[in-house]
Structure 1
Amino acid sequence: MKKWFALLLAVFMVSGLMAGCGARSEQGSENGTKAGNEKIVIKFSHVVAENTPKGQAAIMFEELAEKYTEGRVDVQVFPNSQLYNDDEVLAAVQQNNVQMAAPATSKVSKLFPQWTIFDFPFAFPDTDAVQTAMESEEIGGKLFSMLKEQQLLGLAMWDNGFKQMTLDEHPLYMPEDFKGQKFRVMSSRVLEAQFKALGANPVPMPFSEVYSALEQGVIDGQENTLSNIYSKKFHEVQKYMTISNHGYLGYAVITNSAFWEGLPTDVREGLEKALDETTRWVRENAQRLNQENLEKIKADGTLVEIHELTQEEKEAWMKATDVVYEQFKEEVGEDLINAVMALRK
């Protein structure tokens, strides 16, 4: 009897160990780590449509990553907030529930207020100035170095381009045209201050809710790039659009630092090569894609009226929003403000 009991006990122990190993293997596969001969799964979450600069870049990265790692990596892209919205995705990356994300820079500012530097109105005259900023030690180097404090690692910056204003009530020519209007903003205190400086009422809201809010009149207007306006059909529920180029919208490509550093060296090198190529493509093509979307909006048969800011109107907008720089100088850091102001000049 003792022998039979010992044998049964041994069988149960071995079965339990095998089940535990299986569970860990399954969990590892789900969380982006390699189990046995399985591929390394990288879940890439973002909130925009696939026919936008970020959406196309994510697809391009998926293809190149799998090519340069010779199939050892399986990149799974989830667009349109299928997994997480921009307010949730950084926590998901920290917990390794997804391995990569590309949130708007204003979302990163929830962890580090210094990242709101990209939200300042008329901070960058063109995309060349943005690239200069990101490649400088004073701005890009400083911002990316902060991320590791929160188990994050900055991999690249992807352009979407410059934002334009839309409104349903009337055209936006001068700052007084904003008075009393409700504008959707990303969750950024700088963006809220921008609209308050113009006399408008900012309403923080996830990107995925903007169309229905415009359609139902919960908000009166919004700011976004042309690719986002067209792909989400905001122009179909707005009567007026002003080409203002007042603010830059870029995305920080971010991963979980422990996950990235735990990858085999050759796999990581393949992913870095794919990222470099994708980032160059984004820089070269984001402006083109936005221009193409403007032409599509014009040809779409909607009634949206398009106005481009004159130099006089632009200067009035700049003067009205300059207060934002002084308001956040202490919070963001005078060194960052001064570095951006130098680019602005």
Structure 2
Amino acid sequence: MNFTRRRILAASGASALAIPASRAFAQKAEFTYKYANNLPVSHPMNIRAKEMADAIRAETQGRVDIQLYPNNQLGSDTDMLSQLRSGGIEFFTLSGLILSTLVPSASISGIGFAFNDYASVWKAMDGELGAFIRGQIAKANLVVMDKIWDNGFRQITSSSKPIATPEDMKGLKIRVPVSPLWTSMFKALDASPASINFAEVYSALQTRIVDGQENPLAIIATAKLYEVQKYCSLSNHMWDGFWFLANKRSWDKLPQDLQAIVAKNINAAGMKERADVAELNANLQKELAAKGLAFNQPDPTAFRAQLRKAGFYSEWKSKYGDEAWALLERGAGKLA
């Protein structure tokens, strides 16, 4: 699947309502479950999730019907996490950085400037670090799938100036997700972070409540943030992924054979989405530059040194604990 500009534009014209599913089976499904997320319908996550839901419906002979609700239709991230825990929705994909409000160790994969490339990310997240985090999520009474979906490396955009050195961050009003790790990192870089839910990011940039934000290129494109930003610094300052979560009571109602089918298809879709995001990001710099974004590529070494000097790494090592930090450094290299 080629995630080019044409693909994004075609998908972005889709219905703002729940993504419709094909109805090849006449009988009513035994299990009709809602899957919600915060991303635009045109994002690879929702395109692959639609395929996933169709495959699950076919393989279970119509017994399991997963209905998609993209683009914050069912509320903010914090709203949807509450709904997932109460059973109002059955499935939800959430960044580990935001899940950390419930499962503190879930944000460790997003430590600033930890991972240099995807090879080190997948080594950690498909290996010991990912297994450790999934164990902590399970303790919070949620079911989590084996394969984390990709949100990509995050980049900094601004309406006022390019970010080339840590000094350029000083006083920058930047939107960050509602997560302590982000706030802590940008404060350590002397910026002025403001926690704002994703659904409100475009308007916050448009009205200059904040001057900048940070997200992967795929989200900058699909959410059209280039319309309200001038500069994009390819900082790769954090890697971010989405854990595919399920309400435990709803999951336990599925017979084991159906659980196996659902989990297999979710994990397979997640692997395809990883490839899609990598391909999309490879194409997007040129396309976003054509839309007016000016790109630069800062050296991460100075930013890492600033975080070390500000005590960021030592502070978070003490919060996560020696075991989790050792697993992070086994995949990412020495930080603190």
Sort the TM-score into its range (normalised by shorter chain).
0.7 to 0.9
Counterpart AA for 2:295: I
* Cα RMSD for the two superposed structures: 1.6
Instruction: Give 3-state SS (helix, strand or coil) of 2:94's partner.
Output: coil
Counterpart AA for 1:217: R
Residue by residue over 1:149-176, the C-alpha shift from the partner in whole angstroms, topping out at 9 and shown as x without a partner, is 3321111310121011101111110000
Q: Is the 8 A contact 1:243 1:307 kept in 2?
A: yes
Q: Corresponding residue for 1:321? A: 307
Counterpart AA for 2:307: T
Match of 2:297 among 291, 308, 317: 308
2:264 equivalent to 1:276: no
Give the deviation of 1:244 after TM superposition: 1.3
CA distance in 2, matches of 1:64, 1:240: 40
Counterpart AA for 1:195: F
CA distance in 2, matches of 1:208, 1:225: 16
CA distance in 2, matches of 1:72, 1:263: 10
CA distance in 2, matches of 1:287, 1:233: 19
* Within-5 A mapping of 1:59-74: 59-74=50-65
Q: Is the 8 A contact 1:89 1:103 kept in 2?
A: no
Q: Which runs of 5+ in 2 are unaligned?
A: 1-26
Match of 1:149 among 117, 139, 142: 139
Counterpart AA for 2:198: F
* Within-5 A mapping of 1:1-345: 38-137=29-128, 139-155=129-145, 156-300=147-291, 302=292, 304-309=293-298, 313-322=299-308, 323-345=311-333
Give the deviation of 1:215 after TM superposition: 0.5
Q: Is the 8 A contact 1:46 1:85 kept in 2?
A: no
Q: Is the 8 A contact 2:40 2:222 kept in 1?
A: yes
Residue by residue over 1:309-333, the C-alpha shift from the partner in whole angstroms, topping out at 9 and shown as x without a partner, is 2xxx321111112332111122111
Comparing 117-126 and 204-213, the one that deviates more: 117-126
Counterpart AA for 1:338: A
Instruction: Give 3-state SS (helix, strand or coil) of 2:144's partner.
Output: strand
Counterpart AA for 1:320: Q
Give the deviation of 1:37 after TM superposition: 5.6
Greater Rg over alpha carbons, structure: 1
CA distance in 2, matches of 1:107, 1:316: 26
CA distance in 2, matches of 1:56, 1:320: 39
Q: Is the 8 A contact 2:29 2:62 kept in 1?
A: no
Q: Is the 8 A contact 2:121 2:332 kept in 1?
A: no
Q: Corresponding residue for 2:14? A: none
CA distance in 2, matches of 1:291, 1:55: 19
Give the deviation of 1:42 after TM superposition: 1.3
CA distance in 2, matches of 1:57, 1:333: 36
CA distance in 1, matches of 2:28, 2:69: 24
CA distance in 1, matches of 2:140, 2:331: 29
Q: Corresponding residue for 1:22? A: none
CA distance in 1, matches of 2:51, 2:117: 25
Counterpart AA for 2:300: K
Give the deviation of 1:82 after TM superposition: 0.2
Q: Corresponding residue for 2:24? A: none
Q: Is the 8 A contact 2:150 2:241 kept in 1?
A: yes
Q: Which runs of 5+ in 1 are unaligned?
A: 1-35
CA distance in 1, matches of 2:232, 2:267: 34
Aligned residues: 304
Q: Is the 8 A contact 1:51 1:231 kept in 2?
A: yes
Q: Is the 8 A contact 1:89 1:101 kept in 2?
A: yes
CA distance in 2, matches of 1:344, 1:130: 8
CA distance in 1, matches of 2:118, 2:252: 31
Q: Is the 8 A contact 1:123 1:247 kept in 2?
A: yes
TM-score, structure 2 length as denominator? 0.86
Residue by residue over 1:124-144, the C-alpha shift from the partner in whole angstroms, topping out at 9 and shown as x without a partner, is 12222222212223x222211
Instruction: Give 3-state SS (helix, strand or coil) of 2:34's partner.
Output: strand
Residue by residue over 1:208-252, the C-alpha shift from the partner in whole angstroms, topping out at 9 and shown as x without a partner, is 100000000000101100010011111111111111111111001
TM-score, structure 1 length as denominator? 0.84
Runs of 4+ in 1 over 3 A off after TM superposition: 36-39
Q: Is the 8 A contact 2:29 2:64 kept in 1?
A: no
Q: Is the 8 A contact 1:226 1:293 kept in 2?
A: yes
Percent of aligned pairs sharing the same letter: 30
Judging by fraction of residues, say which structure has more helix. Answer: 1
